Amino acid sequence: MVAAMSIISYFRLVLLGLLVTVGDCYNFPFEGVQLHDADVGDFSAIRFGDATIAGGDSSRTDVQACRAFPGEANWPRDNEWTRLNSSLGGALLRPLPPGAVCYLGPNYDSTKCDYLLNNASSGRFYVDNAVTVMTQWPQGQTCVPTTNPTNGTCTQGGFPAYVVNVTTVRQVQIAVNFARNNNIRLVIK
């Protein structure tokens, strides 16, 4: 009985030792790649936010009521998106809605459309697709896959115009900063 208690006590000590080791907070290698003030340079669109804004500075008059939307005057210009993509190391994507392959035009692809029609009901399709949330419905049904490519239209609608395929903390920081500083809606998937 005493030997059994000693073994249990030993295992408790070993477990506590493991917890202490785990508690030292080792980062994964990708967590060490971070954005620093010096990285921003003259690209102010990716600078860190102002603490007074985050604290709810109600005296600001330059805050817009609505987010910028593609095509509006306050939407970032193409050269800003190009510069953002460069800052992200090429991780900026400009995907079309998945259903675009089912409509006549330059993106029509009957094989991809058949695949979409047969697999879109699977939750996995929406998890794996960069442009979708978890279903087509939050995007407003603006580009629903169809078996009749001549019937209807496909528009970007509520699908994001740009997607960042992040793999580092730095890319997350850049994407969040760019969205905040340009008053762009940010969706995290």
SS3 content of the chain, % helix, strand, coil (to 5): 45, 5, 55
pLDDT (tens digit, 9 = 90+) per residue, 34-62? Answer: 888 888 888 988 888 866 554 444 455 56
Residue 18 has pLDDT above 80, yes or no: no
Confidence of residue 29 (pLDDT cuts 50, 70, 90): confident
Q: Is pLDDT at 19 greater than 50 in this prediction?
A: no
pTM: 0.71
**Which string of DSSP letters, residue by residue, matches 104-146?**
SSTT--HHHHHHHHHHTTSHHHHHH-SS--SSSGGGTSSS---
pLDDT at residue number 176: 94
Asked which of 27-41, 59-73, 85-99 is least confident by mean pLDDT, the reply is: 59-73
The confidence score (pLDDT) of residue 53 equals 55
